[in-house]
Amino acid sequence: MWGTSQGDRTLTGAEAALVRKSVGHLRDMITAGLDLDEPHRSEVDVFDRLQPTQQLSVLHEVAHGLLDPETSIMELTAVREGTVHAIYRELVSLVEIEIDLSKHREIEFDFHESEELNEAPFISTENLTHQIRSTIVSAWHELNQPSSEWSPSGLIPEERPSRIVPETDSTNLELWSSTIEFLANQVLWDRDFEMEPFFADLDPAKVADIKLYMGIQENYFSSPAPDANAADYQRLDQELVALTQNLKV
Local confidence band at 163 (pLDDT 50, 70, 90 cut-offs)? low
Q: Any idea which of 66-75, 100-109, 116-125, 143-152 has the lowest mean pLDDT?
A: 116-125
Instruction: Please answer whether residues 188 and 76 qualify as being in contact, where contact means their C-beta atoms are separated by less than 8 angstroms.
Output: no
Residue 246 three-state SS:
coil
Residue 214: the pLDDT is 66
Q: What is the pLDDT of residue 199?
A: 64
87 pLDDT higher than 90 = yes
User: pLDDT at residue 125 above 50?
Assistant: no
Range in 87-91, 134-138, 193-197, 210-214 the model is least confident about? 210-214
Q: Other CB atoms closer than 10 Å to residue 41's CB: what's the count?
A: 12
Q: How many CA atoms lie within 13 A of 28 on its CB side?
A: 10
Which pLDDT value is given to residue 207? Answer: 66
221 pLDDT band (50/70/90 cuts)?
Answer: confident
Distances in whole angstroms, Cα of residue 109 to Cα of each of 20, 21, 95, 120: 13, 10, 12, 18
Confidence of residue 101 (pLDDT cuts 50, 70, 90): confident
Q: Which residues pair with 4 in a beta bridge?
A: 7
Cα→Cα distances 31→17, 22, 61, 83, 233, Å: 21, 14, 16, 16, 10
**DSSP secondary structure string for all residues of 150-181:** EETTEEEEPPPPP-----TT---HHHHHHHHH
- DSSP readout, 68-109? -TTSPPPPP-HHHHHHHHHHHHHHHHHHHHHHHHHHTT----
Q: State mean pLDDT over 219-225.
A: 87
Strand, coil or helix: 148: strand
pLDDT at residue number 105: 63
Distance CA 122, CA 108 (A): 21
| pLDDT for 102 beyond 90 | no
Statement: residue 223 has pLDDT above 80: yes
Supply the mean pLDDT for the chain.
82
- How deeply is 151 buried, as exposed, middle or buried, from its count of CB atoms within 10 A (0-12, 13-18, 19+)? exposed
